[in-house]
A and B are shown apart, each in its own frame.
Chain A
């Protein structure tokens, strides 16, 4: 069963990303808790994934030929849910149930709660290993060349030893249908990543473990799409894309500020954030016309 993908222009994708940001703000304000910075900065990457890169069918989440998207840093769930709702997995109204009792949108994603979720995450560091397990299973099923596994990780998450266990294993078994995407926003809860536990030289680290590494602007949707195409062309080793992002992207008073890692906006802040995002809408629309 082939899925006819609706082709979107980059401008259309930028607008979708902005809509996803607006929904993230509304969801978080409504929930009264949750993480702001990461989900906002991942909006462009998730838009690129759900509206261009992934082979998937929102109406048939268990389609056997689908690509897999794993969110390893589960606290960024709001962007995942918003992208899923926008692409048709469920009604956008349900986004308001985030973190509420009885909701399918758990504070951190739970695989069995919502069709379309491929993993359960929250405790950090286990997504890439699950990608490895899936890739090994696909190899045994002779489908490694047909399906891609995208694993989105946070940069602070790379402190976890479990990640590096997976990095070694994927390299050993040449799990080339894994494409890691690191949200390199340079913040974690206690401050800057380079203060808490330095990651640099991050590119050299992954390369020395035998991975193909690309560094891109994680807010340039075209770059995200191109980098994933390039990664799919590399079949001798696994690939990782270090996507440089601005934490809180799109909401000026949140941008670059690590304090927004784990808190939601209050109603005044949400109003202001939505006003800024609406202005951004106008800029995107008028941008290249």
Chain B
């Protein structure tokens, strides 16, 4: 087991991580081709079965995508607590709300383009305004949905869900974190939205990486620039940080699995040190993490800012990697943005 031997080596050399990142809890394979790949929805599926085991109030509802969103494990383990809604996203949300009113903790899932895409008002009126613990899982979000094209590449979910009071908005960076988030939200009373990705993505965290709703995690300490990233793009931000280090630029990478409530303190503390910031997300920067950070800093501590993300455009068909390049969402684009803000 090569991974095991690397772990041993890491313990031996203490502070100096093989991946050149300061956070010792991250995977040592970040930046190598050995890194484990897994869709984060798999982590969700595993954790949902686990929370179903420990909390009998947990129920699951799906709009005809049970396998795709990986609710099938739960449906098989607890058939009496699983509700097949059919292709009806408005119903998905409003039925969930009714179950929550009766004391259940409903996890409801579809593709993000359809839920919250089609049922934002239902979520607002019946879940968010009532502060019901409905957990909406939006699968297949972002450009990673690739060949399906613009209709299925939900890029506005962070913006529309973040605009809704009471709602927690989560974008885990990998399957391990999706697992932790799925468990954590079952113990949180608030209505929650979590975006998921179809494609296998690098597993960058480990069992020991901390996760807490509302808390950002410093994935790499740095002094020259703050890179604030969420979801699938945190991996790319870490790769950028590794490459920047070779150029002598020390980048602090802050991973915001929780886009709302944003961990203002962590971000402000970082920019007070670095005085330059880049945000990175696989979503519209208007209203997304980029928008959130810009709002925070312009009111509290304005510093040079660049937002890497989708810039007021729709996606299109293509391979995920092709699309990330075409839309300016690669480690190279992050590095360019870093150079822009530190030279300002």
Closest to B89 in A: A165
Interface pair A133/B90, CB less than 8 Å apart: no
Using an 8 Å CB-CB cutoff, how does the interface string of B65-90 with A read, 1 for contact, 0 for none? 00000000000000011010110101
Residue in B102, B121, B131 whose CB lies within 8 Å of A133:
B102
Contacts of A96 in B (CB 8 A): none
Interface footprint category on B: 20 to 34
Interface on chain A toward B: helix, strand, loop, or mixed SS? helix
Interface pair B80/A140, CB less than 8 Å apart: yes
Stretch at the interface among A19-27, A31-39, A121-129: A121-129
Q: Is B101 an interface residue when CB atoms closer than 8 A count as contact?
A: yes
Closest to A147 in B: B102
Q: Give A155 to B95 CA distance when docked, in angstroms.
A: 21
Residue in A118, A126, A140 whose CB lies within 8 Å of B101:
A118
Contacts of B80 in A (CB 8 A): 140
Q: Is A77 an interface residue when CB atoms closer than 8 A count as contact?
A: no
Q: Is A132 an interface residue when CB atoms closer than 8 A count as contact?
A: yes
A130–chain B nearest beta-carbon distance, Å: 4
Q: Is B59 an interface residue when CB atoms closer than 8 A count as contact?
A: yes
Q: Give A136 to B60 CA distance when docked, in angstroms.
A: 12
Q: Give A138 to B104 CA distance when docked, in angstroms.
A: 10
Interface pair A169/B85, CB less than 8 Å apart: yes
Q: Give A120 to B123 CA distance when docked, in angstroms.
A: 11
Interface pair A161/B90, CB less than 8 Å apart: yes
Which residues of chain A from 171 to 196 have a CB within 8 Å of any chain B CB? 173
Contacts of A135 in B (CB 8 A): 98
Q: Give A182 to B122 CA distance when docked, in angstroms.
A: 21
Q: Give A126 to B98 CA distance when docked, in angstroms.
A: 10
Contacts of A112 in B (CB 8 A): 129-131
Residue in A110, A118, A125, A132 whose CB lies within 8 Å of B129:
A110
B94–chain A nearest beta-carbon distance, Å: 3
Q: Count A-B pairs with CB separation below 8 Å.
A: 102
Q: Give A122 to B129 CA distance when docked, in angstroms.
A: 12
B98–chain A nearest beta-carbon distance, Å: 2
A66–chain B nearest beta-carbon distance, Å: 12
Q: Is A168 an interface residue when CB atoms closer than 8 A count as contact?
A: yes
Interface on chain B toward A: helix, strand, loop, or mixed SS? helix
Q: Is A11 an interface residue when CB atoms closer than 8 A count as contact?
A: no
Closest to A167 in B: B91
Q: Give A209 to B117 CA distance when docked, in angstroms.
A: 27
Using an 8 Å CB-CB cutoff, how does the interface string of A140-155 with B read, 1 for contact, 0 for none? 1100000000000000
Q: Give A197 to B121 CA distance when docked, in angstroms.
A: 22
Q: Is B125 an interface residue when CB atoms closer than 8 A count as contact?
A: yes
Contacts of A130 in B (CB 8 A): 94-95, 97-98, 101, 126
Contacts of A216 in B (CB 8 A): none
- Known: A129-B94, A134-B99, A168-B86. Is A140-B122 also a contact (CB below 8 A)? no
Q: Give A133 to B126 CA distance when docked, in angstroms.
A: 12
Q: Is B242 an interface residue when CB atoms closer than 8 A count as contact?
A: no
B105–chain A nearest beta-carbon distance, Å: 11
Closest 4 CB pairs of A and B: A133-B98, A129-B94, A137-B102, A165-B91
23 contacts between A and B (CB under 8 A): A112-B129, A119-B97, A119-B98, A120-B126, A123-B121, A126-B122, A129-B90, A130-B126, A132-B91, A133-B94, A134-B98, A134-B102, A136-B83, A136-B99, A137-B99, A137-B102, A138-B102, A140-B80, A141-B103, A165-B85, A165-B88, A165-B91, A169-B88
Taking A119-B98, A126-B97, A126-B122 as given, write out 13 further A-B residue pairs in contact, using a Cβ cutoff of 8 Å, ordered by the A residue number: A111-B130, A120-B126, A120-B130, A123-B122, A132-B95, A133-B100, A133-B101, A137-B59, A138-B102, A140-B59, A140-B81, A165-B85, A168-B86
